[in-house]
Amino acid sequence: MEITATPKQGSRIEAHLLLVRGWQNRFRLQAKAPVVGQVALGQGAYPWIASSAGTVFRAKAGTKPQNPLALADPANLLKLRVAAGAVAGMSLAPDMLEQVLVVRSEKSEGGPLTIHLAAKDKRNAALRLVMHSDGIRPDRVEFEVADLCGVAAFRAWQRNAPAPDALFDPPAGLPQREVNADDLHKIFSAMFNFAMESIE
């Protein structure tokens, strides 16, 4: 995903995000944003973090992958589960959306399906989801929230796709330093907590 946003007062913000989720707690997250710089972390055969200085901090070989958010704040995990459950419920019963959002869809002849979402209680928050021409995957999300407006463009969107083990390995060619796996999981959880609190 590539995100560009412009505050009403401030300069343009650009960010890139890659997220891959695999089986047995495997994942890879890469982000490049003004506040955090370039970040890469993940867990394949072992957890790891690649620092912006170009060093990979990794657990010892043979470390069994564990839940990367095992040490996260239970309240934040509950919020995530509730949000995921709400999204799943709304996909099964779209009428639920109308309780909190104004939803309108449109499709011009030969054009993509576009779904407009606006919060009923906050008129300064609106999303416009534009679907890909195949009608299955999202193409982009145009958003306006408070004093920020922008576009999040999906460059790739795959579900249940083959994911080789190497996809979850740290970047190649960087010096590596072994650290305690529990310390890496603490960092994963702290980053997750920070992200959840920032969203609020």
DSSP assignment of 100-166: TEEEEEEE-TTSPEEEEEEESS-TTEEEEEEE-TTSSSEEEEEEEETTEEEEEE-S---SS----GG
Q: Are strands 37-43 and 138-145 parallel, antiparallel or unpaired?
A: unpaired
Torsion of CA 176, 177, 180, 185, to 10 degrees: -40
Residue 86's pLDDT band (cuts 50, 70, 90): low
Q: Which long-range contacts (CB under 8 A, 24 or more apart) does 102-108 make?
A: none
- Residue 75: pLDDT over 80: yes
- Residue 87: pLDDT over 60: no
- Residue 100: pLDDT over 70: no
How many Cα atoms occupy the beta-carbon half-sphere of 77 within 13 Å? 11
- Residue 84: pLDDT over 70: no
> Which residue's entry shows tokens 């505050």?
7
Q: What percent of the chain has pLDDT over 70?
A: 86
- 9: Cβ–Cβ under 8 A, 6 or more apart, which residues? 147
Q: Which two tokens stand for residue 141?
A: 């999300």
Q: CA Rg, the chain, in Å?
A: 19
Domain 2-199 has CATH 3.30.390: no
Q: Where are the domains of the chain?
A: 2-199
Q: Which two tokens stand for residue 168?
A: 């979850």
Q: What is the pTM of this model?
A: 0.74
pLDDT top residue among 50 and 61: 50
pLDDT top residue among 65 and 57: 57
Torsion of CA 112, 110, 160, 62, to 10 degrees: -60
Mean pLDDT of the chain: 81
Q: What percent of the chain has pLDDT over 90?
A: 20
Q: For residues 7-26, give the mean pLDDT.
A: 87
DSSP letter assigned to residue 54: S
- Residue 9: pLDDT over 90: no
Positive or negative CA dihedral for 123, 198, 147, 3? Answer: negative
pLDDT top residue among 16 and 80: 16
